[in-house]
């Protein structure tokens, strides 16, 4: 006999179904949270950021379409939530740190309060325990580690956000295996989707920048591409007579390269970071527990970038985070150490003379030898990266001192090629013309040529101001000028315009230049990257005349 369908029956059925669905959903949620690192990170991210986003939406609604009122409300929220945003990044790390560090020098899309907080970030990561590394090695190389290697050191040589490197003995020779963490890809992809969703809600104009960053950082996950980078740079430097016996790139080992493992020859010797840290300690500069790479990056972000913020590079309150481009509220003590040179001495003697006096005094204190060797090393590194930029299939945009080794035989070893860029002919031509234009002495005609060369690389500003377009590339690639230490001298020009688009190859060339220039300033060497790279740019244009037109 058929059962009569009543309203109460339907209600009970819906209740049972809803209850079962909720229970099943809770079980599924708990399972994914415990077993999927990407899902767990997404939950943590939105749990921390959703209330912040909701507050911005509320203030926008309360402004009732009044742009001035909305910006005033936003400024208060920027100051309130920027420290919390930094704390979220520090907690989750991964791609969030990388993107936040890029944002810290992108005034065209990120308010000043957030840039100021993001400049405090350090890109360090603890090593992963041995067991998942062993499993990854055996899975990708197809045999137990005891059968593949004569010996393997379970303590890593170094660790980064997506992998770590181990010293091994393989067929009687020393080698290194770089192993990607098993969950790196899913975690970085989850991080990207979280950031994409956040920017879609609060700052759609920043989405193109995020896509550029993802495109570049995603290459770090492609160990096959990194192995190819290693091979190409090894071959390029082996074939360059200018660097024979001076620069060394590890030889790839194809038998130890598969999947998420890269095998290469072992280069003995301390990192450049060790020598530079000792140099800074002798100068009385306390780097603290952070790595030299992190310290230099923070100096970069607190130095020129902070000076440009203070000058009001972004004249709009919505972008600069201060009405009329007011100076940053960042404490003076956090500014770059070299940026705080005695300004009266600089005005009286000139910056280069002040640096020479400081260098001479330091050399006398340390008997001169080690410092002279370090300066030669850094000038060689500058030259080698100019060669990479124009005559190698690719260039490495991450020359921090942890990736540079000082070999016992006097050679310089270059390692870690995840952050590389392969330039097409048009990009090389644009950078070559820009570098040569920067190296010319300033004059009205030279400034106009420099502004045009900067635009030709793909850089766009809001107003196309010629003086601004001539000043900015000098700030990026030239030697530090005494007048730059006086904020007022920059403010008038920098208030006129702001960058709205900068291609990723220009950003990466700038990153390379500013890291190398920072290394030289540690030794009181005020170098012009443009002048050092100029001969390589000129030679490339001479050998590629069509591109130089």
Per-residue pLDDT band at 210 (split at 50, 70, 90): confident
Task: Please indicate, yes or no, whether residues 515 and 475 belong to a single structural domain of this protein.
Answer: yes
- Let me know if residue 396 belongs to a domain: yes
Pairing mode, strands 412-414 and 404-406: antiparallel
Task: Please indicate, yes or no, whether residues 468 and 355 belong to a single structural domain of this protein.
Answer: yes
Residue 374 has pLDDT above 60, yes or no: yes
Least confident of 110-124, 244-258, 327-341, 382-396: 327-341
Residues 249-276 have a mean pLDDT of 91
Task: Please indicate, yes or no, whether residues 261 and 300 belong to a single structural domain of this protein.
Answer: no
Q: What's the pLDDT tens digit per position in 58-113?
A: 998 999 888 899 889 989 999 999 999 888 888 877 778 777 877 776 666 678 88
Least confident of 11-25, 138-152, 223-237, 363-377: 11-25
Torsion, Cα 332 336 338 344, to 10 degrees, reads -20
Task: Please indicate, yes or no, whether residues 192 and 296 belong to a single structural domain of this protein.
Answer: no
pLDDT for res 390: 96
- Using DSSP's 3-state secondary structure scheme, residue 253 falls into coil
Separation between Cα atoms, residue 200 and residue 208, nearest integer Å: 11
Residue 126 has pLDDT above 80, yes or no: no
pLDDT for res 308: 43
Task: Please indicate, yes or no, whether residues 409 and 522 belong to a single structural domain of this protein.
Answer: yes
- Let me know if residue 13 belongs to a domain: no
Contacts of 82 (CB under 8 A, 6+ apart): 111, 113, 114, 116, 117
Task: Please indicate, yes or no, whether residues 451 and 527 belong to a single structural domain of this protein.
Answer: yes
Separation between Cα atoms, residue 154 and residue 247, nearest integer Å: 29
Q: List the structure tokens of 296.
A: 């230099």
Residue 303 has pLDDT above 60, yes or no: no
- Let me know if residue 18 belongs to a domain: no
Task: Please indicate, yes or no, whether residues 99 and 134 belong to a single structural domain of this protein.
Answer: no
Number of domains observed in the structure of the chain: 3
- Let me know if residue 155 belongs to a domain: yes
CA-nearest of 59, 33, 58, 34 to 46 is 33
192 or 346, which is more confident: 192
Q: What's the pLDDT tens digit per position in 461-476?
A: 999 999 999 999 999 9
Task: Please indicate, yes or no, whether residues 237 and 283 belong to a single structural domain of this protein.
Answer: no
Residue 257 belongs to domain with CATH number: 3.30.200
Q: What is the DSSP string of 77-135?
A: HHHHHHHHHHHHHHHH-THHHHHHHHHTT-TTTS-HHHHHHHTT-----PPPPHHHHHH
Residues 349-358 have a mean pLDDT of 44
pLDDT for res 360: 46
- Let me know if residue 20 belongs to a domain: no
Q: What's the pLDDT tens digit per position in 468-504?
A: 999 999 999 998 777 766 656 677 787 888 888 889 8
Task: Please indicate, yes or no, whether residues 298 and 229 belong to a single structural domain of this protein.
Answer: no
- Let me know if residue 43 belongs to a domain: yes
178 or 399, which is more confident: 178
Q: Are 423 and 258 in contact (CB under 8 A)?
A: no
Q: What percent of the chain has pLDDT over 70?
A: 72
Task: Please indicate, yes or no, whether residues 174 and 291 belong to a single structural domain of this protein.
Answer: no
- Let me know if residue 210 belongs to a domain: no
CA-nearest of 136, 139, 185 to 156 is 136
Per-residue pLDDT band at 187 (split at 50, 70, 90): confident
Residues 146-168 have a mean pLDDT of 92
Separation between Cα atoms, residue 294 and residue 434, nearest integer Å: 29
CA-nearest of 304, 246, 277, 219 to 484 is 304
Task: Please indicate, yes or no, whether residues 86 and 171 belong to a single structural domain of this protein.
Answer: no
Which residue, 207, 240, 266, sits at the end of a domain?
266
pLDDT for res 27: 41
pLDDT for res 128: 82
pLDDT for res 432: 97
pLDDT for res 198: 82
Task: Please indicate, yes or no, whether residues 170 and 104 belong to a single structural domain of this protein.
Answer: no
Q: What percent of the chain has pLDDT over 90?
A: 38
Task: Provide the mean pLDDT of the chain.
Answer: 78
φ/ψ (deg, to 5) at 197: -65, -40
Report the 10 Å Cβ neighbour count for 15: 10
The domain in which residue 372 lies consists of 277-307+341-547
pLDDT for res 40: 80
496 or 172, which is more confident: 172
- Let me know if residue 322 belongs to a domain: no
The pTM assigned to this predicted structure is: 0.70
Residues 431-446 have a mean pLDDT of 94
């Amino acid at each position: 006999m058929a059962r009569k369908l009543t309203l109460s029956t339907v209600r009970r059925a819906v209740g049972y179904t809803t209850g079962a669905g909720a229970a099943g959903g809770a079980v599924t949620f708990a399972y994914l949270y415990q077993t999927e690192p990407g899902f767990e990170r997404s939950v943590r991210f939105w749990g921390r950021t959703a209330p912040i986003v909701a507050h911005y939406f509320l203030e926008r609604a309360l402004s009732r379409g009044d742009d001035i009122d909305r910006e005033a409300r936003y400024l208060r929220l920027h100051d309130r939530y920027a420290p919390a945003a930094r704390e979220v990044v520090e907690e989750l790390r991964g791609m969030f740190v990388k993107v936040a560090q890029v944002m810290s020098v992108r005034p065209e899309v990120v308010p000043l309060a957030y840039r100021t907080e993001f400049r405090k970030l350090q890109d360090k990561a603890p090593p992963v325990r041995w067991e998942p590394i062993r499993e990854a090695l055996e899975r990708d190389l197809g045999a137990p580690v005891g059968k593949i290697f004569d010996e393997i050191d379970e303590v890593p040589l170094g660790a980064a956000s997506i992998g770590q490197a181990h010293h091994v003995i393989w067929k009687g020779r020393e080698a290194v295996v770089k192993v990607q963490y098993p969950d790196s890809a899913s975690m970085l992809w989850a991080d990207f989707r979280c950031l994409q969703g956040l920017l879609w809600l609060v700052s759609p104009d920043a989405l193109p920048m995020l896509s550029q960053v993802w495109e570049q950082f995603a290459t770090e996950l492609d160990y096959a591409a990194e192995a190819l980078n290693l091979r190409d740079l090894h071959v390029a430097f082996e074939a360059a007579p200018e660097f024979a016996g001076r620069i060394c790139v590890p030889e790839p080992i194809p038998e130890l390269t598969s999947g998420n493992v890269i095998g290469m020859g072992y280069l003995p010797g301390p990192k450049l970071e060790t020598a530079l840290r000792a140099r800074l300690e002798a100068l009385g500069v306390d780097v603290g527990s952070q790595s030299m790479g992190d310290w230099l990056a923070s100096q970069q972000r607190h130095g020129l970038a902070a000076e440009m913020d203070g000058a009001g590079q972004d004249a709009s309150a919505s972008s600069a985070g201060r009405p009329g481009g007011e100076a940053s509220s960042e404490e003076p003590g956090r500014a770059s150490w070299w940026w705080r040179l005695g300004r009266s001495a600089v005005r009286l003697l000139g910056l280069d003379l002040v640096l020479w006096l400081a260098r001479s005094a330091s050399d006398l204190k340390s008997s001169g030898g080690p410092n002279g060797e370090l300066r030669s090393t850094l000038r060689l590194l500058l030259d080698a990266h100019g060669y990479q930029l124009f005559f190698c299939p690719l260039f490495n945009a991450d020359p921090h001192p942890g990736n540079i080794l000082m070999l016992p035989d006097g050679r310089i070893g270059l390692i870690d090629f995840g952050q590389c860029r392969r330039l097409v002919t048009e990009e090389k031509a644009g950078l070559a013309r820009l570098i040569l234009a920067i190296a010319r002495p300033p004059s009205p005609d030279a400034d106009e040529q420099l502004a045009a060369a900067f635009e030709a690389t793909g850089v766009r500003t809001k107003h196309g101001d010629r003086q601004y377009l001539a000043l900015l590339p000098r700030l990026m690639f030239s030697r530090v000028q005494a007048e730059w230490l006086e904020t007022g001298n920059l403010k008038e020009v920098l208030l006129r315009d702001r960058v709205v688009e900068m291609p990723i190859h220009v950003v990466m060339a700038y990153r390379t230049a500013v890291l190398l220039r920072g290394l030289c300033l540690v030794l009181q060497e005020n170098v012009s990257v443009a002048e050092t790279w100029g001969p390589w740019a000129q030679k490339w244009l001479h050998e590629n005349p069509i591109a130089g037109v």
